[in-house]
Amino acid sequence: MIRTVAETGSTNADMLASALTGAPEGDWLRAEQQSGGKGRAGRSWQSPVGNLYASTIVRLRGGDPDAPGLALVAGVALEEVATAWLAKDLLRLKWPNDLMAGTDKVAGILLERVGDAVVIGMGANLGVAPQAADRATTSLLDLGGAAPDPGAFLEDLAAAFARWLDRWRAEGLEPVRKRWIERAHPVGTALAASAPQGRIEGLFDGLDPDGALRLRRADGRIDRINAGDVFLL
């Protein structure tokens, strides 16, 4: 079920509250605009009318793959739909949760968990590219596509996410990881990671089977990054 509201503080916050009261898997909430949108690490997410701001719930089941893999599930679904609407092969996934056009951010993903529920928020610049203090941004419209209607875009996204979620449950993370790598920047791309162990620079070397980022140092050593921010160099 998809529910749309004219404005809210944060669709993720609303869905976390709904999850605590028993909202089922597959529910979606979309807001035409947010007054308190947020990204990873509590960053503000500017939310003007014309873009996508939506969150959904996944209820974890016994036997499910590890929950962090849902970030990759969301990423491949979001890239698939955004590329179809853009009708140009310009978009690439960047670990852990961004959709990029070159060095410009187009969309982001935020996962938050309460109990057995994982709330997955997705924000995508469809018709507007809000300015951000720490990174360049763009929109599907700026990239030469039409500005999709956010409601129609979400209908496609909900269907794609459900399809990839089913594969994640039935086949594990591997087909999702494979698709993610295919739609990411090329292996060998120079990256910097702000990880718990400090800043690390290296070349993108794909993802480990559990979804961790692999960075190859100049001496050939591989660093596994499980958490942190990643930047294109």
* pLDDT tens per residue across span 36-60: 766 554 556 667 899 999 999 999 9
d(CA 149, CA 63): 37
d(CA 8, CA 11): 7
pTM of the model: 0.92
DSSP per-residue codes, the chain:
-EEEEEEES-HHHHHHHHHHTTPPTT-EEEEEEESS-B-GGG-B----TTSEEEEEEEE--TTPPPGGGHHHHHHHHHHHHHHHHHTSS--EEETTTEEEETTEEEEEEEEEEETTEEEEEEEE-SS-----SSS-B--TTTTTS----HHHHHHHHHHHHHHHHHHHHHH-SHHHHHHHHHTBSPTT-EEEEEETTEEEEEEEEEE-TTS-EEEE-TTSPEEEE-SSEEEE-
Q: Is the pLDDT of residue 127 over 90?
A: yes
Percent of the chain with pLDDT over 90: 81
Domains and CATH numbers, the chain: 2-182 (3.30.930.10), 190-232 (2.30.30.100)
Name the residue with higher pLDDT: 217 or 228: 217
User: Which residues have a Cβ under 8 Å from the Cβ of 32 and sit 6 or more positions away?
Assistant: 4, 5, 6, 7, 49, 53, 150
d(CA 52, CA 181): 24
Evaluate whether 116 touches 60 at the Cβ level (below 8 Å).
yes
The pLDDT assigned to 196 comes to 73
The residue-averaged pLDDT of 12-22 equals 96
CA diameter of the chain: 53
75 — pLDDT class (breaks 50, 70, 90): very high
The β-bridge partners of 218 are none
d(CA 109, CA 121): 6
The pLDDT assigned to 133 comes to 63
Evaluate whether 95 touches 193 at the Cβ level (below 8 Å).
no
pLDDT digits (tens, 9 = 90+) for 97-115: 999 999 999 999 999 999 9
